[in-house]
A = this chain, B = another copy of it.
Amino acid sequence: MERLSIGTNVFVYPNPVTLLGTMVEGRVNFMPLGWLSRVNADPPWIGVGVYRGHHTARGIRENGTFSVNFPSADLVEAVDYCGLVSGSGTDKSGVFECFFGELKTAPLISACPLCLECRLVRTEELPTNDWFVGEIVASWADEACLTEGRPDVRKMNPLLLTMPDNRYWTVGAEAGKAWGAGAGRVKSEKDRA
C-alpha cells in the first residue's frame, strides 16, 4: 500500500451532524455542529467545540446552557442554512419550531428526532476554539424513532459530515454487533490456551 503524508489539518471520518441550540441576548439561535463527543461516562457529559468568534459561543457563556439536536437527513437544507448565516446578523429563531424542557435557555427543535438539554460544567479555552462541556440533564426523543425505548439510528436517519470535502452523508447498512463481532476470536484464543 502506498502511504502519503497528507499534512496535519485532518478531520474525523465522519463527523456526526447536530444543531447546537442556544439563546443569545434572549433570542433562539442554532448552528450546525460536527465537533462533539461524549467525554465522561458518569455523570453523562458531552463536549462541543465552537470557534470562539461564533455567536453561539456567546450564548453558551451568557446562559451556561445549550442543546444538542440530531436532525434527520430531510432537514439538510435548513441545517446547512444555519451554518451559512451568523445569528449576529440574521434572526434564525424562526427556522425551526422549538420547545423547552427543563432548562429555559436551551431551545429544542420539534422536528429533530432526538434533543439533549445540557448545563455547562466546564469551559476549556483552546487557541482558536472553546470546548464547552455540558452535563446532559434531560433528553427528548420522538417516539417514532425509538425501538424498545432506545433511539434507533435507522429511524432517526441522522446526517454525517466529512471535511474538507464538505459533504453530508446518511448512515448506511449495519456492519456488525459491537462488543460482539470479535467474540469468536476471544473464544478461539481461550480454546487454544
Contacts and interface: CB of A to CB of B under 8 A. Distances in A.
Interface in A103-143: 110, 114, 116, 122, 124, 126-129, 131, 133, 135-143
Nearest to A124: B124
A156 interface: yes
B84 A182 contact: yes
B181 A77 contact: yes
Contact of A176 (B8, B80, B153): B80
B13 A15 contact: no
Contacts of A140: 3-6
Copies in the complex: 2
A21 interface: no
Most central of A2, A51, A114, A175 by chain B CB within 10 Å: A175
A99 B51 CA distance: 34
Contact of A44 (B9, B133, B159, B185): B9
A190 B178 CA distance: 48
A88 interface: no
A116 B39 CA distance: 20
A83 B178 contact: yes
5 contacts: A2-B144, A15-B37, A35-B37, A40-B131, A124-B124
> Top 3 A-B pairs ranked by shortest CB distance?
A81-B182, A172-B172, A80-B182
